[in-house]
Homo-oligomer: A and B are copies of this chain.
Amino acid sequence: MAASPATSRLAAPRYALASSAKSRFDRRLAKILAHAVNVFYEKGYEGASMRDLSRASGMSLAGMYHYFESKEKLLYLIQRHTFSTIVEQLRGKLDSTDDPEARIRILILNHLEYFLANQKAMKVLSHEDEVLKNGFGAEVRSLKREYYRICLDVLDDFKRANRLGFSSRVAVLSLFGMMNWIYTWYNPRVDGDAAKLSEQMGDIFLRGIQDGKSVRKSARVN
């Protein structure tokens, strides 16, 4: 698998879907990936057949295999591209400030902006979380861990700066939950754009992780 022509061509994976793709091969490939995202979004990975994918991209079934050696690889390319792009963009934006709270705001805004702009890819990313096995899965999981790590660090900075006591793990994972769940309910007309949503979620989250006498212990159940 490692050295097949198709693979070596894809050595720069994060550009697979991007407009900076150079060769005709890469451009074609990116187009197919874009169509595949739509199909996976609508039918799920298991529910989508190679025939569906070929139909959607207007390429023959056999032709698909010039660009991807398997359906699994296709999902992998989508997930890898999506993840590395979001991580890359986050990295760039985080450089703009050292303020811990601002960095959390950046984190949330970046995630939601990307999420809403690439809703379908993000659903495929989060919904088809476990289907990739072995090599492909490991690589995507490592990207995911990297993203998680960055966010955890951002939170830890905030915690340290404000001498707070919450669990960063639970906090960051809860934040991811809040944000990743939106593909099940988001409605642009009702919920506004990424800026509005990230302000609301940011408010909830930031207040939530700070101390405040507002939380009456007496109200706790059990």
Residues 69 to 116 of chain A near chain B (Cβ within 8 Å) = 99, 101-102, 105-106, 109
Contact between B206 and A105, CB atoms less than 8 A apart: no
The reply to whether A102 and B171 contact each other, CB–CB distance below 8 Å, is no
Stretch at the interface among A12-20, A22-30, A31-39, A175-183: A175-183
Q: Is A152 located at the chain interface by the 8 A CB criterion?
A: no
**Judging by beta carbons under 8 Å apart, are B221 and A215 in contact?**
no
Across the interface, A109 reaches (CB within 8 A) one of B167, B180, B221, namely B221
Determine whether the beta carbon of B166 is less than 8 Å from that of A221: no
Best-buried of A99, A178, A191, A215 by chain B (most CB within 10 Å): A178
The contact string, 1 if C-beta is below 8 Å from chain B, for chain A 161-187, is 000001101110111111111101100
Contacts of A208 in B (CB 8 A): 203-208
Question: Does A195 have its Cβ within 8 Å of any Cβ on chain B?
Answer: yes
User: How many monomers of this chain does the complex have?
Assistant: 4
Tell me the residues in window 189-217 of chain A with beta carbons closer than 8 Å to chain B beta carbons: 190-191, 195, 197, 199-210, 212, 214-216
Asked, given contacts A170-B197, A197-B170, A220-B105, whether A207 binds B203 with beta carbons under 8 Å apart, the answer is no
Interface size of A as a range? 35 or more
Cα separation A180 to B174 with both chains bound (whole Å): 9
A135 CB–B CB distance under 8 Å: no
- Does B105 lie within 8 Å of A221, measured CB to CB? yes
CB distance B215 to A206 under 8 Å?
Answer: yes
A222 touches B205 (CB 8 A): no
Query: Which residues of chain B have C-beta atoms less than 8 A from A177's C-beta?
Result: 177-182
Given A181-B181, A199-B220, A204-B171: A210 and B209 interface contact (C-beta under 8 Å): no
A-B contacts, 7 of them at CB < 8 A, read: A46-B46, A109-B221, A129-B184, A170-B204, A180-B181, A199-B220, A207-B212
Q: 14 other contacts beyond A101-B219, A170-B197, A212-B212, with CB at 8 A cut-off?
A: A44-B44, A44-B46, A102-B221, A166-B204, A169-B190, A171-B204, A174-B178, A174-B181, A177-B179, A206-B208, A206-B214, A207-B207, A207-B210, A207-B212
